[in-house]
């Protein structure tokens, strides 16, 4: 009797495995088909259940819908990413709310003093970045769950985007995200992935 | 005609939505049922396809299987997390490989000079942390995809764990993770989540 295939060791069915990970790809081109606010809300309604420390949920999502907002973003994007940024049906700035702790008495009601543990801004910035980044991981999965392709872009001037779009000083831009339906020649061949033996060690 | 229900706006079927997000919970207690190496390998085989910058894949997973290794971890865990850490069937230290750039000529072959862009250690540490944290987001989803409960724990002395388990100086501990089947009274009521209007803004 042979061992079960690796995908069959999971509870998640194969179609969902393909949709979210195995067949999903980062798109470099998109069709003109729009991404609606209802789709974005549905993605958020799914991924908001992902865990964060103190249930703090520091991720904030700024959708750049107007031509003016998109034009303001482009100077901060690296040359390599500028064309695909300009052509994406939906463009978002993903940011961390550095003052997420203000909501903790409501979000983490059994330990309302958690807000005071985060009184120090440097501690809070680190926590906000870490947990918002976890949530970006959930969000990329959520975009794929909506049948859409996500294009995360780290090649941009994050400090510049923070100044341009979050002059309140309470947000930090972490990543740009383009979302849409994949267009022609949306991707190259899949790049190699590390094997379990290269990633996992046991002690 | 009424609008479709929010979950039906997604391509992912409802059972998978529940398994990964809506019904999934962070477990505080576990049964004795073990988590096998084959299950861990199957989770990795799924989530390794998640995107990272330069395809760098900096996440490293250290499984603490021996009683000695688990005992070495406990002094670094906060009092609040110690009991559940000690009782978890599987305990992992999730870390970033700060020298992930060494593999880029192989992982990102069309731009082998990416390795040299990351020659500066401070830049690299930031990239390693950010992308490994994204991968932890995928990993938490992957644990749930295996029908298991994940218990991410940020309440620990990360610098101490890094020194204790990664004296090579090339890894940074980011999060502890307990994995298993939920035990009795594994969780309290679901904590409140932010609404889309509180998280998403449009410009």
**The pLDDT of residue B103 is above 70:** yes
Q: How far is B195 from chain A (nearest CA, A)?
A: 8
What DSSP character marks residue B128?
Answer: H
Residues in chain A closer than 8 A to B106 (CB atoms): 192
Task: Provide the pLDDT for residue B125.
Answer: 96
Taking a C-beta distance cutoff of 8 angstroms, is the pair A63, A35 a contact? no
In this complex, do A49 and B21 lie within 8 Å of one another by their Cβ atoms?
yes
In percent, how much of chain A has pLDDT > 90? 83
Q: Which residues contact B129 (CB under 8 A, 6 or more apart)?
A: A130, B96, B172, B174
Span of A17-26, A56-65, B78-87, B143-152 with lowest mean pLDDT: B78-87
- The arrangement of strands across the sheet holding B59-63 comes to A200-202, B59-63, B90-97, B171-180, B149-153
**The predicted structure's pLDDT at residue B6:** 81
- Given A13, A24, A138, which is nearest B141 (Cβ)? A138
Amino acid B3: pLDDT = 67
From CA B104, how far away is CA A26, in angstroms rounded?
Answer: 18
* Cβ partners under 8 Å of residue B180, min gap 6: B27, B30, B31, B33, B35, B88, B89, B90, B148, B149
Separation of alpha carbons A17 and B45, rounded Å = 11
C-alpha B88/C-alpha A174 separation (Å) is 33
Phi, psi of A197 (to 5 degrees): -65, -20
Q: What whole-number distance in Å separates Cα of residue B200 and Cα of residue A59? A: 9
Q: Is residue B37's pLDDT more than 90?
A: yes
Q: Of the ranges A57-61, A82-86, A153-157, B127-131, which one carries the lowest mean pLDDT score?
A: A82-86
Q: Which of B24, B127, B203 sits opposite A64 (nearest CB)?
A: B203
Substitution target in A2, A5, A11, A150 with the highest count of B β-carbons within 10 Å is A11
Tokens representing residue B94 in the block: 């999730």
Chain B: give the shortest CA distance to residue A109, in Å: 8
State the pLDDT confidence band at B8, using cuts at 50, 70 and 90: confident
Q: Quick one: average pLDDT of A123-149? A: 97
Chosen from B6, B9, B93, B109 to mutate, greatest number of chain A CBs within 10 A: B9
Q: Which region among A17-31, A73-87, B85-99, B184-198 has the lowest average model confidence (pLDDT)?
A: A73-87
How do residues A6-16 score in pLDDT, each as one tens digit? 888 999 999 99
When pLDDT is averaged across residues B138-154 and rounded to a whole number, the result is 96
Q: pLDDT tens across A102-117, in order?
A: 999 999 999 888 999 9
A26/B53 CB distance under 8 A: no
pLDDT at B1 over 60: no
Res B2 pLDDT > 70 = no
Q: From A103, which residue of chain B is nearest by alpha-carbon distance? A: B194
pLDDT band at A42 (very low <50, low <70, confident <90, very high): very high
Q: What integer pLDDT is reported at residue A104 of this predicted model? A: 96
pLDDT over 90, % of chain B: 83
Name the minimum distance, in Å, from the CA of B96 to any CA of chain A.
10
CA distance B43 to chain A (A): 7
- Amino acid A2: pLDDT: 64
Helix axes A121-145, B121-145, angle to 10 degrees: 50
pLDDT tens per residue across span B165-186: 999 999 999 999 999 999 998 9
Is the pTM higher than 0.90? yes
Chain B positions in Cβ-Cβ contact with residue A62 (cut-off 8 Å): 200-203
Question: What was the pLDDT predicted at B28?
Answer: 87
B148-165 mean pLDDT:
95
């Amino acid at each position: 009797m042979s061992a079960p295939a690796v995908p069959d060791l999971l509870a998640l069915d194969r179609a969902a495995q393909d949709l979210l990970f195995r067949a999903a790809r980062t798109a470099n081109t998109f069709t003109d088909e729009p991404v609606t606010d209802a789709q974005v809300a549905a993605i958020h309604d799914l991924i908001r259940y992902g865990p964060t420390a103190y249930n703090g949920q520091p991720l904030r999502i700024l959708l750049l819908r107007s031509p003016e907002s998109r034009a303001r973003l482009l100077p901060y994007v690296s040359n390599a990413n500028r064309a695909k940024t300009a052509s994406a049906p939906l463009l978002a700035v993903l940011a961390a709310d550095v003052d997420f702790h203000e909501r903790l008495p409501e979000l983490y009601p059994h330990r309302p003093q958690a807000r005071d543990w985060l009184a120090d801004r440097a501690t809070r910035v680190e926590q906000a970045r870490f947990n918002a980044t976890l949530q970006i991981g959930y969000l990329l999965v959520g975009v794929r769950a909506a049948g859409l392709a996500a294009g995360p872009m780290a090649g941009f001037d994050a400090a510049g985007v923070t100044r341009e779009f979050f002059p309140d000083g309470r947000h930090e831009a972490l990543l740009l995200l383009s979302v849409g339906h994949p267009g022609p020649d949306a991707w190259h061949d899949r790049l190699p992935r590390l094997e379990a033996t290269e990633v996992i060690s046991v002690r």
